[in-house]
Each structure stands twice: as structure tokens, then as C-alpha cells.
Chain A
Amino acid sequence: DTAVSQTPKYLVTQMGNDKSIKCEQNLGHDTMYWYKQDSKKFLKIMFSYNNKELIINETVPNRFSPKSPDKAHLNLHINSLELGDSAVYFCASSQARGSNQPQHFGDGTRLSIL
């Protein structure tokens, strides 16, 4: 069983559209994250949720809205997609925030904006 799974794996869409990426973890972790990896391969954290509560919100445009229906899921909705949103988006999870336990990552969603 995949520990952290993201869907879809590939997403190609037009500029201006709205799209969502889903993430689920079956590790029983309390904390989930979204990262963005751009074309230069820098991996940057976007959001973090702990038990459905937003705890980290880096400087991300408000077109990006995370939603956590329960602690096993953290979805990312993106409005009015722009060319600069093209990137690989990774979901991750970990045990209790503030512990030293590692984060576990999904395999990424490759978003391409035409």
C-alpha cells in the first residue's frame, strides 16, 4: 500500500482554469504538507496542516487554497491557473508537529499550464 498517494500524477490544463490535487496518507500521521518544486528543482514548502488546522502558510498567492477534510487528507485547490504555476507539487506527512520524526513524501503531481 502506498503510504502517501497523490492524484492525479499528471495534470495538463489551460491558463485560467481551476484545478484540484488530492493527497491521502495511510500512516496515521497528524501533520500534512504541500511543497512546490519548480523548474530549477528548488523544493519549497507551501502549507502545513496539523489535525486539520493550518499551521504553516508560506508566501503563496491566495489562488492556492488547501483543504483538509480529515487528518488523512490534504487537498490543494488552485484557482485561475497561471503559467508560473507549472511545477511538480509534492504532498508529505509526518507524526506530531515539533517532533523529530521524518516526513514521508508522495510521488508528486506534475502540473503543466498551456
Chain B
Amino acid sequence: DAKTTQPPSMDCAEGRAANLPCNHSTISGNEYVYWYRQIHSQGPQYIIHGLKNNETNEMASLIITEDRKSSTLILPHATLRDTAVYYCIVSASNSKLTFGKGITLSVRP
């Protein structure tokens, strides 16, 4: 599976949009981009995934560049409860997810 690169941390103000970047320059044509997050002391939580097109659900939006070499997870109105480690994972199969270090998002009041 292709490797992903994420900044180690970022913060944003409560109520503002949080834009979390991810680079996956070696992604293959059949690999999906998955985003999970892990709130302290809890199990990872699925957020969203996509292949080529931008995706939106009740939690977030996923913007994938046309060349698919990078993506951005957008939390439109961050709350304090969105403080967590966010993992960007690239995989052709849901059965083999490789979690990296992720990005720690801190939402400040």
C-alpha cells in the first residue's frame, strides 16, 4: 500500500473549519483514501473514504486532488470534541489498513 505523509500537529479555533492535509504521491489507481480518528482512550473511528471524487458525509468532507497525490479532510465547524489524532490511510482493500503517526488536531476554545 502507498505511504502517506501528514504534518505532526495542527490547531484551529472552535467553530472554524479544520483542514487536515495528507500527501500520498505513490498512490495506485485502485487504492482508496481513508480517514480515521482516535480520540484519547477510545478506539479509532471511521470518518470518510474516497477513490477519486470528493466525498461528504455528516462528519466531514474529503477533497482529493485530480492527480490523487494528495487529499484534505475538512471538518467544517470544529468543536472541542474533534480534538483527536487523525489518520490518513491509503489502501486497495479495507482488510489491510496501515496506521501511521497521524496528525494531532487540537481545537482551542
Contact = CB atoms under 8 A, between A and B. Distances in A.
Interface residues of B, number: 21
A103 B97 CA distance: 9
B21 interface: no
Contacts of A97: 93-95
Interface string A19-57: 000000000000101000000011111001010000110
The main secondary structure of chain B at its interface with chain A is: loop
A104 B49 contact: no
Size range of the interface on A? 20 to 34
Contact of A42 (B44, B94, B99): B99
B43 A90 contact: yes
B46 A45 contact: no
A75 B19 CA distance: 38
Interface of A: 4, 31, 33, 41-45, 48, 50, 55-56, 90, 92, 94-95, 97-108
Interface of B: 32, 34, 36, 38, 41-46, 49, 51, 85, 93-99, 101
